[in-house]
Every structure is written in structure tokens, then in C-alpha cells.
Amino acid sequence: MNEHITRRLRFENSSGIIYDRDSDDTMYESVVHTPNEAELHHMTMTCPNCGAVNPVAALTQGCPYCSTVFQIKDLFPRVTNTYFIRNNASMKNVNKRGSTIWITMLVVFLFTFISFLSDRENPIPASLIMSYFVTLIFGGITGLMLSSVLLIIKQFNRDGRKRIPFWSYVTAKGKISRAFAPYDPVFSFEKFEGQIIALIRMTVLADHPENLAFYRGSSFDPYFQDIIEMTYMQALTVNNIHMEGSELCLNLRTWWINYSEHDGAINRRGDCIDITLRRNTAYIEPPGFSITSVHCPACGASFDTVRQRSCPYCGNEYHMENAGFIIEKLALVP
């Protein structure tokens, strides 16, 4: 599901509000409406009463921990992921495009009117009428074309977008979908994109990324520690895709607008971030899988892998690559 929204981004410190801006975004939600009954024994979710992670089938029979019985309509529909993408067709761009068209038409009108007046045989009313029609037809079309070209140039050069080649951008979805086709017949690029956005945001904004179960990086760019908010700009390209045994490895480039704080002021800049991912294709991703509530395969306990990579009850390390994606490397593109 998606809907256009106006999102307010505001930062405050001890001195008050230091940044306040509205942006036109699209909010995407992955929603499970009616689950496949054949998958209820494999689909896990958090018990709404006690918070324990159980197969959905167990919750309909009675949660093993609190004995609460739920009906399917009590558990679904439910949102499994939410993320925001900046809407490039903002009102600011629309206003700039309109201004370009009007300026172009004014220039054409003045040029044609002066040209007609230079011919003394043309009366002023006739010169005005002819200039008006030339401006509407030629000036309007020229202004529309010029504004479109300027907008395209701006979109592909602003805030680091120049590091996203156009052809790589338009072919990324097909490349990734074809790579997953042999292993996941119901692969959804939109779901995949949402997962990658969430993983990058959680890693960069985490106080201790080394504790995340899905992060295996050996180094971390110091700039990431200063980022306090990130907005994905709906631009993703493929650097490399290959197999290593049963593991699918992807290196992708993503485009973001990042906000950092320095000396009481907010710095906004566009960045490209390369991410290296790994996924074990020998295991099928559990339906409704959530990294915030997983089952420990050793003792069966549930815990949040956003906060810790090992089970807090038995101490065994959780191997996220057998259920979802892990990040091997996260690098800022210079």
C-alpha cells in the first residue's frame, strides 16, 4: 500500500527548534491482509497479549506462554514494514517549472513584438495580436521543453544523484528480480527494497551497530555516527550480483538525503551509500519474518535482533542469513 503524505521533519536541542521543514513524501506499507492457511505453522508473529513470538497456528489454539486464544481476524491485517520515499514531484519543482515557462513566454513576446513594430506597415494592435499568438504557441512549447530539460538535469545532478547512472537505475529492478527468480518464485522487489531501506537506516542510526544480528561489517565510516535522520530518494542500482555456494551476494548503490548536526546547526546533504548483502538461498524466508522478533533455533526463545546478535537466554549466535539478509559492508561513496 502507498499514499502521498506531507511529512514534517523537525530537530530540537536545548536552545529550541533548529530545523523545521515539510516535505512531500510517499509512505509505503507492507500489509498482510489474509494469510495463507497452509503457512500458519511457519508464519511467526508476536503474541498481542504477552509479546512472545509464536507460529500463528499456535496463537489460534492458545499462546503457549499466556494461554490467550486469538482468531485470525484478531491478528490480521497487520503492517509488516513501513518506510518513506521523498516525492521528487514536489510543489517546489512545479513552481519552478511554471516560472521557467512564464519567463520564456515573456522573452518570446518581447522579441516578437519588437520585431513586428520594426515593420512600420504593421499597426500596434496587429503587432500585439500576432505577438500574442506566437507567444502562446512557440513560447509555451519552448518553455515547456526548456523547463523539462532543466528539471531532468537538476534531478540527475543534485545531492549526489550524478553517481547513479540512468541506465543502471532503470534496469536495477529487472536485474535483482532475475537474480532471485530461481530461489524465490514469489519475489517482490518492492518488499525487497523496503527491507534494504530498513536495514541501512537501522545500521547507520544505531548507537552500536556491531551488536546488530544482521550487521557483519568490520569498519564503519565516522560520518555515519553524525547522521541523525535519513530519507531514501528512491534510487537504487546494482554494482554486482554473484553466488558463493548457496549464498546470494549483492552489492548495491543507494541514494539518500542525510541530516547531521554540527555546532547547533543541521547540515543536509545528498549521499550515495554502497551496501554489500548476503542471503542463504538454501533457506526460504519465513512468511511475515521480522528482525525485531525471531526464534532462537537452539532454545526456542524469542528476542529482538535489532538490539543483540546472540540469544539472551542460551547465548547462541543467531544466523540471520538463514532467514533474511545480512550486511557485510556499508560504505559511503566519496
Q: What is the structure's pLDDT at 149?
A: 76
In the predicted model, residues of the chain with pLDDT beneath 70 are 87-94, 120, 151-162, 286-289
* pLDDT score, position 278: 92
pTM, entire model: 0.68
- Are β-strands 326-332 and 265-280 bridged in parallel, bridged antiparallel, or unpaired? antiparallel
Q: Tell me how far apart the alpha carbons of residues 259 and 134 are, in angstroms, rounded to a whole number.
A: 47
List, for residues 88-146, the tens digit of each pLDDT value. Answer: 545 566 677 788 888 888 888 888 888 877 776 777 777 788 888 888 888 888 888 88
Instruction: Label residue 245 left, alpha or beta by phi (over 0 means left) and psi (-120 to 50 means alpha).
Output: left
Q: Residue 25: beta bridge partners?
A: 5, 86
Reading the block at residue 315, the C-alpha cell is 547465548
Residue 261: its pLDDT value, please?
A: 85
Determine the pLDDT at residue 47: 82
CB neighbours of 99 closer than 8 A, spacing ≥ 6?
A: none
Strands 227-244 and 247-262: antiparallel
Alpha-carbon 271 to chain mean position: 13
What radius of gyration, in Å, describes the C-alpha atoms of the chain? 27
DSSP annotation of 309: S
Q: What is the pLDDT of residue 286?
A: 66
Judge contact between 227 and 204, C-beta under 8 A: yes
| Collapsed DSSP state (helix, strand, coil) of residue 303 | strand
- Residue 157 has a pLDDT of 55
Strands (E), the chain: 2-13, 16-32, 44-46, 53-55, 78-86, 227-244, 247-262, 265-280, 294-295, 302-303, 326-332
Q: Write down the pLDDT at residue 328.
A: 93
Distance CA 240, CA 243 (A): 10
Instruction: Say how many Å lie between the first and final Cα of the chain, rounded.
Output: 35
Nearest to 239 by CA among 230, 227, 252, 226: 252
Report d(CA 271, CA 226) in Å as an integer: 13
- Alpha helices (runs of H) in the chain, residue ranges in sequence order: 56-61, 72-75, 91-117, 124-134, 140-155, 166-180, 189-205
